[in-house]
Structure 1
Amino acid sequence: MRNGTVRRRRTSALVVAILLLGPLLTGCSTVQSAAAWNDPRHPVAGGDATGSGPAPLWTGPGQVQAKGSAESTTGRTPAYDISSLLQPSKKYLGVEINGAPDSMAPAEQFASWVGAKPNIIGQYLAWGTSFDTTAASNAWSYGALDFVVWEPWNTTLAKIASGASDSYIESFATAVRALNVPIAMSFGHEFNGNWYPWGTTGTTPAQFVAAWQHIHKLFAAEGATNVIWIWDPNDIDAVPDVQLKQYYPGDAYVDWVGVTGYWTQDGPSTYGSLYLPTLEEIREFTEKPFIIAETSVEAGSDESASLTELFDAVKQHSDILGFVWYDFDKGGDWRIENRPSLLSQFQSDVASGGFGLVVKPTS
């Protein structure tokens, strides 16, 4: 999420400002970025190995366990089997909200507002920051996936692909594997836009693909197959001339396709105009399931209709697994809690069916 409500209204001056101030504005949440940047609270690895116990290793597409045979013979707890989470029977209701999941109080407050527990909790993490084991543990204990939106500030995709960050990536992957709870993760989100340095103005599609594949391979080599990999372009309405296929790492490296798209008062106002063109283009090269990885509804006369369109899109399409609600006052007030009428509608839409997925097994 960028400052401002309509992405295509970005001026060149604002793009330059973001490039200069990137590390200070990491992610959509300024609070999260300030907390994440070189935060000493985040150890490289921590926590006891937990998860699915003796369940078999997941070796589906993109989740090959490179060190599986060694782990099975040395007694190491198998990597958490994420297969049941990839195609769930119910929908995901996610949230990005200030302070979570380092603290679960904001997520619990959100649950009290909307009448359902979120089962995905997003956070923005700057490149160079250690894996936040506290956040991931908190989310999992609550019954949710920690969704790490990993942002490559202060580097380049070419450097990442060349191996310049290998020690950092390996330590991150080692920490993910050691904690051994499932997490969701995207890298370089909204790469098809020109508002981030890893986007179209600063990199090539080949560099993005090479960096993504390199990171994924390093995670596999560390046995960190407990990750759901989310490839997350912005909806193409804002950037219609950028072809998405050239940025796709391949089915072996992606579990979900995440689409970022906001319901604004002067932009696309229906599923058919906001999401469908993007989904149709993506369907030309992959059948991976979708998740709306970042969204909200702008306040105004169309907010009720927009919220209806959002919920209907998720409920009516089996290949859309759910959505992640951006509950911040940034670049506009996107919060649900201070709009009583819209909140009541949100509660009804959640209760009317499809949501309520139990992420964490009870036994």
Structure 2
Amino acid sequence: MKRVCGVAGVTAVLVAFSVACSSVEAAPSKPLPGSMSSVPGRQGVALVPAGGVLLGHYYGAGSIEETDTRIGRKPAMHLSYYGWSDDWTSASATRRDLADGRIPLVNWEPAGISFDDIISGALDQTIEARADGVKSLGSQVILDFAAEMNEEEGWGGHVPDRYIAAYRHIHDVFSARGVTNVVWAWCPNNTDSAESPSALAYYPGDAYVDWTGVDGYNWGTSTEDFRWQSFENVFSDIYVKLATLGKPILIGEMASDEVGGDKAEWIDGIVPTLQSKFPLIKALVWFDVDKERHWQINSSPEALAAYQRMAKNPYMNP
């Protein structure tokens, strides 16, 4: 719901991470964090920690260096956004993440693209180019294609069969090109649009998904349409649904506003809630930017101190 779409949008928030040209040399790979478990039948790994939760970050409120200093550690995962035509396989963000031991989380957004054209194969040239590009990286990348399909993004026109067919087609093209290092994430919104079928109606199937996921926010009380929600409140309903699929769960986007409650207390509740209520959640990504709300981790000194405590908790450092 809080997109920074395509190269232009990303650059507007984080200039240092502009998309590089295809002549950029592959960055040397370093071991990725966490104890990993294998995906049956594939050479790649699912990047699921044996215990605890991987911390991820969207760097929208400063450079990586500035933000990591602010946090007090290096998050394990880095979220970046790309439009349909953007070559995320040669982007400086992807290459730098792999060189620095971060897991790239690629949010690939097909804005303005007909899903019927994806399904028919009319856009296979782009899909094949991305498949070949990511294969050449030789390191694992998490790919979150067309997230929040059940909410206002409405990818595929809120037609689950069309969305599923497009998702599967992209997956199948990657597989046909011999790609084994993409970890496939499927991330609906935590709530459904009134005119949309429920989230699970869009599920591509177990053979096509490594991580299920969800995007969700505490919008605070800045407008009368919203009420303050705890971390548990934001994710409890969708968690029950996702848990039925038995996959590791990724919170692909999350944050809290300052208005209407105690943001520091909200952050302090994350780890206890993960441990006691949400054992299948194995990674979460904070959307660190002052956009529709005060999502940034340093929106107040108290919020930043709480975030630092959370980030240093052993449970967030598997």
Compute the TM-score of the two structures, normalised by the length of structure 2: 0.84
Q: Deviations over 1:105-127 (max 9, x none)?
A: 82222221122211110110000
**Of the candidates 48, 62, 69, which is equivalent to residue 86 of structure 1?**
48
Distance 2:13 2:309 in 1: 35
Do residues 129 (structure 1) and 86 (structure 2) align?
yes
| Residues in 2 aligned to 1:296 and 1:155: alpha-carbon distance in whole angstroms | 29
**Residues 39-76 of structure 1: CA deviation (Å, up to 9, x unaligned):** 87331885278578xxxxx9835x64xxxxxxxxxxxx
Residues 125 and 132 of structure 1: CA distance in aligned 2, closer, same or farther (over 3 Å):
same
Indicate which of 250, 257, 263 corresponds to 1:303: 263
Q: Which runs of 5+ in 1 are unaligned?
A: 4-24, 53-57, 65-78, 100-104, 358-363
Conservation of the 8 A alpha-carbon contact between 1:93 and 1:118: yes
Q: For 2:73 and 2:52, how far apart are their aligned partners in 1?
A: 13
When the two chains are superposed, the root-mean-square deviation of aligned CA atoms in Å is 2.9
CA contact (8 A) 2:29 2:99 kept: no
Is the radius of gyration larger for structure 1 or structure 2? 1
Question: How many angstroms apart in 2 are the aligned matches of 1:221 and 1:44?
Answer: 25
**Aligned counterpart, 1:15:** none
What are the residue-to-residue correspondences of 1:57-206 with 2, within 5 Å? Answer: 60-61=39-40, 64=42, 81-83=44-46, 85-98=47-60, 106-133=63-90, 134-193=92-151, 195-198=152-155, 202-206=157-161
- 2:304 is matched with 343
Aligned AA (2:10): V
Change over 3 Å in CA distance of 1:93–1:297 after alignment to 2: same
- Could you tell me whether the CA contact under 8 Å between 2:146 and 2:155 is conserved in 1? yes
Q: Distance in 2 between matches of 1:94 and 1:343?
A: 16
Which whole-Å CA distance do the structure 2 matches of 1:189 and 1:321 have between them?
Answer: 18
Q: Following TM superposition, by how much is the alpha carbon of 1:238 offset from its aligned partner in structure 2, in angstroms?
A: 5.9
Instruction: Could you tell me which runs of 5 or more consecutive residues in structure 2 were left unpaired when the two chains were aligned.
Output: 32-36, 221-225
Map of 1:352 onto structure 2 = 313
SS in 2 for 1:259: strand
Structure 1 residue corresponding to 2:10, chosen from 28, 31, 49 = 31
Asked whether 1:227 is paired with 2:182, we answer: yes
Aligned position for 1:361: none
**CA distance in 1: counterparts of 2:53 and 2:287, whole angstroms:** 17
How far does the alpha carbon of each residue in 1:309-339 deviate from its partner, in whole angstroms, 9 at most, with x for none? 3333334333111210001111122111241
Q: Following the alignment from structure 1 to structure 2, what is the Cα–Cα distance between the partners of residues 44 and 162?
A: 30
Q: TM-score, normalised by structure 1?
A: 0.75
Residue 255 of structure 1 corresponds to which residue in structure 2? 210
Give the aligned partner of residue 252 of structure 2.
Answer: 293
Identity across the alignment (%): 27
Q: CA deviation at 1:345?
A: 1.2
- Cα-to-partner distance string for 1:165-205 (whole Å, 9 max, x where unaligned): 11110111101001111111111110001x22516xx2410
User: Which of 206, 216, 227 is the matching residue for 1:267?
Assistant: 227
Whether the aligned pair in 2 keeps the contact of 1:46 and 1:175 (CA below 8 Å) is no
Aligned mates of 2:8, 2:203 — CA distance in 1:
26
Q: CA deviation at 1:27?
A: 6.2
Alpha-carbon distance in 2 for matches of 1:114, 1:278: 28
Which position in structure 1 is the counterpart of 2:223?
A: none
Determine if the alignment matches structure 1 residue 279 to structure 2 residue 239: yes
Match of 1:227, as an amino acid?
V
TM-aligned CA distance change 1:216 to 1:120, over 3 Å: same
- What is the alpha-carbon distance in structure 1 between the residues aligned to residue 229 and residue 288 of structure 2? 19
CA contact (8 A) 2:250 2:282 kept: yes
Q: 1:33 to 1:315 in 2, by over 3 A?
A: farther
**Partner Cα separation in structure 2 for residue 59 and residue 289 of structure 1:** 12
